[in-house]
Amino acid sequence: MELSLIRIAIVGPESTGKSTISEQLANHYQTVWVPEYARGYCEKLTAPCTWEDEINMFRGQLELEEQMAANANRLLICDTTFITVKIWSDHMFGSAPQEVLDKLPQHSYDLYLLMNIDLPWEEDPLRDFPDMREHFMEVWHTELRSLNANYSLISGSDVERLQNAIQCIDSFMINK
């Protein structure tokens, strides 16, 4: 019997260690991780992000995830998901592209790990809202609840955070 691929989404506000922990988890579980498509996309922009850019990032994240899934070893660790496109679009433009809204209930993840805002803010030219972390944390909780997502809040220092994430995934895997 072939085991199905388990998709683990690493999500949360800016500067919560999503990329770091995604790579660490992939190494721990000897699998691949899907980087955040939007990071590379936004690094190339020469003007503020537009509605069309949001749609491009949505499509790019899904495509990259499917490409990486082919190389996954039972677990696919996803450094964020296209829910981020919904959250940013809602914040920046007042609404999200219908294409994104339509896909949200169809493209779920087996487990979401919501990174807490208890790590210090790290400056980065692609980060915009150091004073809105609490707001975006609430938005993430709301979005995950609205999807009826299976999620856990991951907190602690870098080492504790990794241990907490592994414990959460291991507990989830016992039932799979």
Catalogue all structural domains in the chain, each as residue range(s) with its CATH number. Answer: 6-174 (3.40.50.300)
* Least confident range of 69-73, 129-133, 147-151, 167-171: 129-133
Helix boundaries (H) for 70-157: 83-93, 98-103, 133-146
Taking only the tens place, the pLDDT of each residue in 139-158 is 999 999 999 999 999 999 88
CA neighbor of 32 nearest in space, from 60, 67, 57: 67
The pTM assigned to this predicted structure is: 0.93
Identify the bridge partners of residue 9 per DSSP, sorted by sequence position. 78, 112
Amino acid at 119: L
